[in-house]
Structure 1
Amino acid sequence: MEESVRPSYTVSKPPPHIDLQAIPRPAQRDGKPAEAAGTPPPKALPAAWEARYRAWVIGSDVFITLLVIAISAFVIDRVAPHDMHAFGTILAVFVSLPVSRAWSPRVLGEGAEEYRTLGRGFITAAVLVALGGLLFGALEVQVWVFVVVPAIALVAFPQRYLLRQVLHRKRAKGLCLLPVMAAGSPETVADLIARTKSEAHVGWRVEAACTFTGHGAERDSGEIDGVPVVGRLDELSRYVRRGGYRVVAITADQYWTPKRLQRLAWDMEGTGAEMVVAPVLMEVAGPRLNVTGVLGMPLLRVTAPMFTGGRRVVKEIVDRAGSALLLTLLSPLLLVIALAIKLNDRGPVIYRQRRVGRDGATFTMLKFRTMVTNADEIRKTLEQENEGAGPLFKMKRDPRITRVGGFLRRYSLDEVPQLFNVVSGKMSLVGPRPPLPEETAQYAPDARRRLLVKPGLTGLWQVSGRSDLTWAESIRLDLRYVEDWSLALDLVILWKTFRAVMGGQGAY
């Protein structure tokens, strides 16, 4: 039997202590050491605006909690000195919110994650109040569980939304942004820069970039879309440690391997920078994308989009019941609009148009008429003035639009009759834009995926610019909705639709 060649050690004498901080870091390709031995790197500290914003969030949550509980205590218990329900509820909320990370700087202003953590916090608080009631035999605690805690949540969510709007307005002015270092190919870095500029509310500002060659798209170019290229990819950790960046965004490049990404993560420890890696295989996000560890490897699990099942049944019920309720509430407005259209030119009130629905089936979509009665004939003379994207016909100053129609289009009131299409099951409240048959005839195979679900009265296209979008952007948003659909996404779109409609942006 072959003997082991591994050297043996005497167990009576422990191995010498190794000081990891004393190990010199390898020199970079230019011969300069990454950092002096034993010298900690400069850490990217939170900006002053982050501390102020977090203080506003915590302060407003505390104020709302105390106010709602004080009112509830007065109404329910008449401020009985011996009643500990109010104090127990306060304690439950103030414990649950930080434990659920509802006050964590990493989630404040971060999309739907902030609202999810806030919701988990209030659910946890309700459970704690209920358990406290059972533990101390206070069975009359139900009203605090099912009324008071939900009441706090009903006030807290809009309050968080208002605070976020203040933050978004500042970011639109170039304030309250996190400095980002982008690292990848010039093409993918340019795409990231364009997205951060068009969606400033995310809070990223790319301030520097690293590429494989240390140049931009051109050999002698030292920048990408106005962002300076400061070095090569193999020098990235050194520049991160020097620059105080809060986010290091890794975009696609053949240079990146699992070993190099792991080494980069190690080198960035202690800098305060967060490394984010863009999965480049496909544009999938939301509930379909999960990270799991298998055989010691981090794997992205991408589940198939769900077009049937329980959640779709819930969506169907909400669509039909919600549209029926809206039609009932808006019936006086519908009568006023119909009368205004009729008095304007004595023409028909409703405009009917064939549209393509789910699985390519056509249906008649209803709208209030906003153009002159012979609009289709006049269009033939306006083809050369088309300003629409792709196969769409659009004009910002369309001479066919009536005075009443211009007002209706600005605030999307012409689309209200589509609620009848939702009630009949041909459309949904939220979904892709309902296309014309001539549009679908020109669809590429990927664009036809938007026909897998019902078209919507509103959608991502409605809250992202409407008619100002290019054809490619419109298709991308519709496909994103089809691929990443969830009930939470529908709620977010419905919430944003009201603001988009009231602003009238992109509607003509």
Structure 2
Amino acid sequence: MSFDRVRKPGNARTGSPTETAAVSGVAWAVKYHRTLLVSDALVLIVVLLLSTYLRFGADGGEAAVGSAEIGYLFVSVAVFVCWMAALGLYRSRDPKVVGLGADEYKRVVSATIALLGLLAIVSLLFKIDVARGYFALAFSLGVVGLLSSRWALRNWLTGQRNYGHFLSRVIVLGSSKDVGYVIGQIQKKSGAAYQVIGAALTGGHDMGFLMVGNNKIPLVSTIDTVVDAVKQLRADAVIVAGPVKGGSKFVQRLGWELEESATELVLATGLTSVAGPRIHSRPVEGLPLMHVELPQYSGAKHVLKRLLDVALSAMALVVLTPLLAVLAVIVRRDSPGPAIFRQERIGRSGEPFMMYKFRSMVQTAEDDLASLLEMNEGAGPLFKIHDDPRVTRSGRWMRKYSLDELPQFWNVLRGDMSLVGPRPPLRCEVDAYKSRVQRRLYIKPGLTGMWQINGRSELNWKDSVRLDLYYVENWSLTGDVIILWRTAKMLFKSQGAY
């Protein structure tokens, strides 16, 4: 893909109205869709040819169709066409889901599973005898190949967006408070697909711009003249941030006026703590109703989560046994005291449990705490300071890469903790919780979680609570796998670990 010019790295989420990314809006969506189409096709061609070769060798083999026989080359062509069609029917290349979140990956897997089921039914009805080994190879390799290629392209897309490419140019409309919040969230998310080129406020404003963080967002229009601003600035979308004067009638009229310019209309819901999978729209006699599923804290999904915890924690303990032994020796030789540090933490439903870590501080750390309270840099009730004098030499590098937390796999196997969940709190922290924060205790604390992949100790208390509560109400097995993957990458960056 070629670009007219390249911007220097920086904050590509906001820009002046005259700045134009090389590829934006509909243009980037079309180009990226084509890229995904070609990538999916190449992956499936390689996978199907490789599966045929591994199962049948160079001869290719033949499948029985009733009383006739056809070569697996023709079978592969049929599977290829159906697989590509399934990916299309499940809208796995939809610009609204690609490049951000887990929905793109879910659709790829769902399309593949649906196709596998359909082929099984067709084979049974029409008495097509296809080798199970061929299907097993093709679909397992296919899922891995498709997900890997989507992941690689997503990383490439994120990199391009950091340079200002492949961003939809948007104008955010609403009150100054709502507009500021929406733009702030767009700026925080590195994978966000929007470049804010201006704001349209419902009320008056003394200056010609709105300050959001360190960025000046130009005020390009009022809500009554936003359509003219869209045409003049070639915006790809208008985001309505919160309620506006005129309500649904204004939004309906705005949508009609934007039809001529093919500009998208995006409504920012006030349900900021509710994830997309919990929201379902259902029209009733022309009235669009939004259904929000209530969080579930028991049931089959939690049983599957526990099975995943047991399997992965047991595997980790077996594989990491030599490393755990070496670390234990290092801790014992580095400073007096036991290798394992035991501390009471509060788990699900307020139940206390003993959490295990490699000791990273001197043995008298708890007694020395009182003299350090004035130096506290932690968030809320947490106690944290950079260059804590109680941390040992081995403790510093173990904390940097979270090696001190490896014994918590035993807590996960025992059932005290989960692989993914809120941060395990101390009793003194729980005693200081307000009623809303108590919801943290609705599920088991985690070895890792949203706090781990979003800055760890650098998070302020408000953001830490917000992330934990969001996870408690919106967690999913797919989301857990993504958090585990991102945690593995974070270990090498050591951001916020001290």
**If the TM-score is normalised by the length of the shorter chain, which range does it land in?**
0.7 to 0.9
1:267 to 235, 243, 257: 257
Instruction: Describe how 1:420-431 pairs up with structure 2 within 5 A.
Output: 420-431=410-421
1:133 to 102, 112, 123: 123
Specify the alignment match of 1:441 in structure 2. 431
Specify the alignment match of 1:411 in structure 2. 401
Residues of 1 paired with 2:485 and 2:105: CA distance?
13
Q: Specify whether residues 251 and 65 from structure 1 end up closer, same or farther in structure 2 by C-alpha distance, changes over 3 A only.
A: same
1:222 to 201, 209, 228: 209
Specify the alignment match of 2:464 in structure 1. 474
- Give yes or no for contact 1:130–1:145 (8 Å, CA) kept in 2: no
Specify the alignment match of 2:48 in structure 1. 69
Q: Secondary structure at the match of 1:330?
A: helix
Q: Residue 75 of structure 1 aligns to which amino acid in structure 2?
A: L
1:80 to 46, 60, 66: 60
- Structure 1's unaligned 5+ residue stretches are 1-43
Specify the alignment match of 2:169 in structure 1. 179
- Give yes or no for contact 1:248–1:276 (8 Å, CA) kept in 2: yes
Residues of 2 paired with 1:257 and 1:314: CA distance?
43
Residues of 1 paired with 2:294 and 2:55: CA distance?
49
Specify the alignment match of 2:6 in structure 1. none
Say yes or no: does 1:294 pair with 2:274: no
Say yes or no: does 1:204 pair with 2:194: yes
Specify the alignment match of 1:354 in structure 2. 344
Residues of 1 paired with 2:290 and 2:313: CA distance?
38
Q: Specify whether residues 272 and 145 from structure 1 end up closer, same or farther in structure 2 by C-alpha distance, changes over 3 A only.
A: farther
**Superposed displacement of residue 244, structure 1:** 2.1
Residues of 1 paired with 2:292 and 2:86: CA distance?
32
Specify the alignment match of 1:58 in structure 2. 37
Specify the alignment match of 1:97 in structure 2. 87
Residues of 2 paired with 1:46 and 1:223: CA distance?
24
**Superposed displacement of residue 103, structure 1:** 2.6
Aligned length: 462
Residues of 1 paired with 2:322 and 2:217: CA distance?
54
- Structure 2's unaligned 5+ residue stretches are 1-22, 62-70
Residues of 1 paired with 2:129 and 2:306: CA distance?
38
Which structure has the bigger radius of gyration?
A: 1
Q: Secondary structure at the match of 1:293?
A: strand
Specify the alignment match of 1:388 in structure 2. 378
Q: Residue 210 of structure 2 aligns to which amino acid in structure 1?
A: E
Residues of 2 paired with 1:126 and 1:357: CA distance?
41
**Superposed displacement of residue 427, structure 1:** 0.8
Specify the alignment match of 2:229 in structure 1. 239
- Give yes or no for contact 1:250–1:276 (8 Å, CA) kept in 2: yes
**Superposed displacement of residue 433, structure 1:** 0.5
Residues of 2 paired with 1:380 and 1:173: CA distance?
48
Instruction: Describe how 1:455-466 pairs up with structure 2 within 5 A.
Output: 455-466=445-456
Instruction: Describe how 1:146-185 pairs up with structure 2 within 5 A.
Output: 146-185=136-175
- Give yes or no for contact 2:336–2:363 (8 Å, CA) kept in 1: no
Higher RCO (CA-CA < 8 Å; seq separation 6+): 2
Specify the alignment match of 2:16 in structure 1. none
With structure 1 as the length reference, what TM-score do the two structures score? 0.86
Q: Specify whether residues 347 and 191 from structure 1 end up closer, same or farther in structure 2 by C-alpha distance, changes over 3 A only.
A: same
- Give yes or no for contact 2:295–2:473 (8 Å, CA) kept in 1: yes
Residues of 2 paired with 1:164 and 1:302: CA distance?
29
The percentage of counterpart residues that share the same residue type is 37
With structure 2 as the length reference, what TM-score do the two structures score? 0.87
Q: Specify whether residues 208 and 483 from structure 1 end up closer, same or farther in structure 2 by C-alpha distance, changes over 3 A only.
A: same
RMSD of equivalent CA atoms: 2.1
Q: Specify whether residues 146 and 206 from structure 1 end up closer, same or farther in structure 2 by C-alpha distance, changes over 3 A only.
A: same
**Superposed displacement of residue 367, structure 1:** 0.6
**Superposed displacement of residue 51, structure 1:** 4.4
Residues of 2 paired with 1:49 and 1:390: CA distance?
43
Residues of 1 paired with 2:242 and 2:27: CA distance?
33
Specify the alignment match of 1:484 in structure 2. 474
Q: Specify whether residues 106 and 287 from structure 1 end up closer, same or farther in structure 2 by C-alpha distance, changes over 3 A only.
A: closer
Q: Specify whether residues 176 and 397 from structure 1 end up closer, same or farther in structure 2 by C-alpha distance, changes over 3 A only.
A: farther
Residues of 2 paired with 1:131 and 1:258: CA distance?
47
- Give yes or no for contact 1:245–1:273 (8 Å, CA) kept in 2: yes
